[in-house]
Amino acid sequence: MKKFYNFPEGFFWGSASSAEQSEGKGNTGKGKTIWDHWFEIEKNRFFDEVGPDVTSDFFNRYDDDIKLMKELGHNSFRMSLSWARLFPNGDGEVNEKAVEFYNKVIDTFIANEVTPFVNLYHFDMPMAMQEKGGWESKKVVKAYANYTDKCFELFGDRIERWFTFNEPLGPVLGGYMQDFHYPNVIDFKRATQVAFNTILANAKAIRKFKKHNLKSKIGIVLNLSPTYPRSSNKYDLEAAEYCDLFYNRSFLDPCVKGEFPKKLVDTLKKYDQMPEYTKEDLKIIKENTAQILGINYYEPRRAKARDNAVNTKSPFMPEWLFDTYVLPGRKFNQYRGWEIYEKGILDLCNNVKDNYGNIEAFISENGMGVADEARFIENGQINDDYRIEFIKGHLKYIHKAIEEGCNINGYHLWTFIDCWSWMNAYKNRYGLVSLDLKTQKRTVKKSGEFYKLLGKNNGFED
């Protein structure tokens, strides 16, 4: 029997993107980011050797793009500000042309009744700051806090929801553990320093924010994956606990509760992987926690006790304490290699409800990147029923989470128009709207039509 999934009044429907992945360079004199730099020196590591120079040219096309969002059921959208655009050297004087650009963008959102959620950092470290040590350096933490302070001053009168970071775990994993972000270091101790400093930067930005006495709220967007043990065997359970500590609670606990999990700290001490910090740092983290939480959910993590003994000559990694494994017969996105497990979103929301004070939250990313979508064109439109199914599958569980008392107030799909991905460039397409890279032509996909009705009806029937 069909059911109509009705969402609470005022639910935020929309999508998300980031500056580096959609703006293009523009003409404000944007400073180089680590992505511009890495692309310059190692093009071959980017799919089809496409870099972030042009992307979908939001810089020049924001007006039409925002109107199209409105048309396709959006009442909100998460954008990010580019630190390197506003401060080409990372610090010093703000770039007035960049301010003018973001003022126009924000005003256009508001004029179209699409509420902008603003994220302050989405993987895009200014190269000048990376040269000073990136997140390993306390000087960079300070520069970031000053940058955010300026943003609150400049745009704070119009923004209702701020986010300090998108997925701070990403640069830790990519840049210092697994070699998929610049600076391509493999060193867990440096990774923990980067993680700690990012958490401190988040807290310092929140501290600055509070000084502005704005009516708006600030929080952080985390990529969370519910962690499932293979069995109830005690070593499988312990493995899952470690996996959860390193990859979820490492950020979730300090950012929402202001404290690091004791077992994580003990483990880092045991393996001599502790970052450097001061008591004052811990105090700042304790006193400046998130007021709202963005949850990015793509895939679960499945953990089991390690099959083999650790090679203690290899660099320390959290995986010394667990193995991840593939669920036989899992549903998965073959283009990205990620498991699709819709119920995971319910488990995540319940975890936040039960263990993190039911903090006001929203699903800040969820989506499906598919390669070669042109093969699905029918009558000039990409017939992406798989994406519609993906969205509905997750929304049903979000609906259930809300029924169970979870404080979830919105859903943002990744993404609106096909965007540039970090190393995959335009290999996998995530958008509700397809992009012809050569002509910049936008064409609404079938999922875009679905989204239009979703927003209009504040829910869907299935």
Mind telling me the catalytic residues? 167, 365
State which residue, 184 or 424, has the beta carbon closest to ligand BG6. Answer: 424
Q: Which residues, other chains included, contact 134 with Cβ-Cβ below 8 Å and sequence gap of 6+? A: 34, 125, 140, 175, 183, 194
State which residue, 22 or 409, has the beta carbon closest to ligand BG6. Answer: 22
Q: 32 exposed, middle or buried (CB, 10 Å; 0-12, 13-18, 19+)?
A: middle
Candidate list 73, 88, 134, 369; residue touching ligand BG6; CB under 6 A: 369
Q: What are phi and psi of 71, to 5 degrees?
A: -65, -35
Does residue 15 sit in helix, strand or coil? strand
State which residue, 277 or 332, has the beta carbon closest to ligand BG6. Answer: 332
- Rounded CA-CA distance 281/306 in Å is 35
- DSSP labels for 70-138? HHTT-SEEEEE--HHHH-TTSSSS--HHHHHHHHHHHHHHHHTT-EEEEES-SS--BHHHHTTTGGG-H
State which residue, 18 or 95, has the beta carbon closest to ligand BG6. Answer: 18
167 is a site residue for ligand BG6 (CB under 6 A): yes
Does residue 48 sit in helix, strand or coil? helix
Report in angstroms how near the CB of residue 18 gets to ligand BG6 at its nearest. 5
Candidate list 80, 112, 119, 223; residue touching ligand BG6; CB under 6 A: 223
424 is a site residue for ligand BG6 (CB under 6 A): yes
In b/e form, how buried is each residue of 150-181, taking b as 16+ CB within 10 angstroms?
ebbebbbeebebbbbbbbbbbbbbbbbbeeeb
422 is a site residue for ligand BG6 (CB under 6 A): yes
336 is a site residue for ligand BG6 (CB under 6 A): yes
Report in angstroms how near the CB of residue 365 gets to ligand BG6 at its nearest. 6
**CB–CB of 443/44 below 8 Å?**
no
119 is a site residue for ligand BG6 (CB under 6 A): no
Binding mask 267-306 for ligand BG6 (x = CB under 6 A): -----------------------------x----------
Stretch that binds ligand BG6, among 143-151, 162-170, 210-218, 312-320 (CB under 6 A): 162-170
Candidate list 216, 291, 428, 447; residue touching ligand BG6; CB under 6 A: 428
421 is a site residue for ligand BG6 (CB under 6 A): yes
**CB–CB of 133/47 below 8 Å?**
no
Q: Which residues, other chains included, contact 28 with Cβ-Cβ below 8 Å and sequence gap of 6+? A: 85, 95, 97, 98, 100, 101
How many residues in the shown chain lie near ligand BG6 by CB under 6 A?
15
Report in angstroms how near the CB of residue 119 gets to ligand BG6 at its nearest. 9
76 is a site residue for ligand BG6 (CB under 6 A): no
166 is a site residue for ligand BG6 (CB under 6 A): yes
| Type of residue at 345 | I
Rule CB under 6 A: which residues touch ligand BG6? 18, 21, 166-167, 170, 223, 296, 336, 365, 369, 414, 421-422, 424, 428
